[in-house]
Amino acid sequence: MSEEKQVKRLLDKAEKLIEECEKCGSLDCDECEEVQDILNELKDKINQINDKKLQKKIQDEIEDIEDRLDELL
């Protein structure tokens, strides 16, 4: 599977999990912990993508998810 497809799959998973985190309203749930792990993995993978526009788009999506996590603090 290409890096781009893996990253998109991980972003989709993180997006679904962050919705669950927002429902529970606590960073202590398993979903929130998994979102953090996925975000760390995405940050590692983003540098392996050659398309700079795609990198920027993914970085923006990562930041959006991080902002949503921060709102739960």
Per-residue pLDDT, 25: 77
Give 66's pLDDT tier (boundaries 50, 70, 90).
Answer: very high
DSSP class per residue in 17-53: HHHHHHHHT-TTSHHHHHHHHHHHHHHHHHTT---HH
In a domain, 19, yes or no: yes
HSE (side-chain half, CA atoms, 13 Å) at 2: 6
Percent of the chain exceeding pLDDT 90 equals 45
Checking if the pLDDT of 16 tops 70, the result is yes
Euclidean distance between CA atoms 44 and 65, whole angstroms: 16
| Residue ranges making up the domain that contains 52 | 3-68
In a domain, 73, yes or no: no
CB-CB neighbours of 57 under 10 Å: 13
**Number of structural domains the chain divides into:** 1
Per-residue pLDDT, 31: 85
Per-residue pLDDT, 1: 63
Euclidean distance between CA atoms 42 and 45, whole angstroms: 5
Q: What is the pLDDT of residues 36-61, one digit of tens each?
A: 999 999 999 888 888 899 899 999 99
